[in-house]
Amino acid sequence: MSSAATNILRLAELRQTLAERFPTEAAVPERVWETGWAALDAQGGGLRLGAVTEFSGSSGCSTLFLHRLLQAVRQQQRLAALVDCGRSFDPESYREVGLERLLCVFCDTAENGVKAVDLLLRDGNLPLVLLDLQALPARSRGRIPASTWHRFQRLVEKSGTALVVLTPQPMVEAARVRIAVRNRWSLAALRRRRRELLEELSVQVFHRGRQATPAEPFVRTA
């Protein structure tokens, strides 16, 4: 037998030995958290845990989304944190959903907001962290380096936290999921309930990286 044939045989034996000793593990299903927003949950099950999600839309759309998330936090008896850059969050507007399970951090700059999120993610005890950048000027948001988002992605992968960044326009390069929403409201919308307006939003969900397949179902958390 030639040396080349001998090497091929040895390589095949090595591969077989490795396959027997280190069998391929089954793919770990992606874990998601149902938000209660039918249009969003239908496109992947809800928020991905262990991932950075960017929610892009107007401030009105973000308010409705945040309202729905806080309702889900209370109903499912979870804990969440909101880092509000620009101090646009008005607790009185969310009194009906209850805020007893929400930690709210107010920051005046993007830099301080990023530091607060970093501490919360490293703590790893909160299943949901929200970073609201809606009220900041575009120049201030643009100062956040891309490396920050990649660092946050690595942190949430370890802790299983869902990090949601609220922005007026897409800007989070490392986002594994991007939720884009649009509205077609008229003045009559001012007299309608928030849930009705939420269900009328046009929503698109874009996944990046590994996605669920029939062999890798989404796992909804209780």
- How many other CB atoms are there within 10 angstroms of residue 174's CB atom? 18
**Confidence (pLDDT) at 160:** 92
The mean pLDDT value for 53-63 works out to: 88
- How many other CB atoms are there within 10 angstroms of residue 27's CB atom? 11
The pTM assigned to this predicted structure is 0.77
**pLDDT higher than threshold 80 for residue 34:** yes
Q: How many Å apart are CA 100 and CA 125, to the nearest integer?
A: 16
Contact 171, 46 (CB under 8 A): no
Domains delineated in the chain:
29-220 (3.40.50.300)
pLDDT tens digits, residue range 169-199? 999 989 999 998 887 655 454 555 666 676 6
The proportion of the chain whose per-residue pLDDT surpasses 90, expressed as a percent, equals: 42
More confident call, 139 vs 10 = 139
Bridge partners, 107 (sequence order): 85
Contact 210, 28 (CB under 8 A): no
State both tokens at 67: 């309202």
